[in-house]
Amino acid sequence: MFDPASLKYDANGLIPAIAQDHLTGEVLMMAWMNNESIQKTLETSRVTYWSRSRSSFWIKGETSGHIQKLIEMRVDCDRDCLLLLVDQAGPACHTNRRSCFYTALREGDEVIIMEPQNPSI
């Protein structure tokens, strides 16, 4: 049986978690979890981060409706990073873009490569 205590957390008790679309492979966002948010995520299949700015649990999509359903959780070799394969409803980013990684460096300049989705989608 997997125990979240087997993971390596930073000095604040946090571990980075990368959310990836389980079908397309698109990397959607990176946020932080602690032992308890990992347990909540595994129990509910609703991805639950720890908000560092609000110091509280952050059930992804609880207010926006853009929930992340956990399909599979993976652990890296150092046990200090998680990869979450998710089913993402709508945009993952608070800017209404599908992914938080929406700027890219091209020929030395940072350019926007993704537009916000239509709110009705």
Binding residues (CB under 8 A) for its own copies: these are: 1-2, 16, 18, 20, 24-27, 29-30, 42, 72-78, 81, 83, 93-95, 97, 100-106, 108-110, 113
Token digits for 105? 């460096």
Distance CA 117, CA 111 (A): 18
Q: Is 109 annotated as a binding residue?
A: no
Q: Based on CB atoms, which residue is closest to its own copies, 39 or 59? A: 39
Distance CA 44, CA 64 (A): 18
CB of 57 to its own copies, least distance (A): 19
Q: What's the start-to-end Cα distance of the chain, in Å?
A: 39
Contact 97, 91 (CB under 8 A): yes
Q: Is 80 annotated as a binding residue?
A: yes
Q: Is 76 annotated as a binding residue?
A: yes
Residue 77 half-sphere exposure, CB side, CA atoms within 13 Å? 0
Q: Based on CB atoms, which residue is closest to its own copies, 20 or 48? A: 20
What residues are designated binding site for Mg(2+)? 76, 78, 80
Binding-site entries for Zn(2+): 77, 93, 100
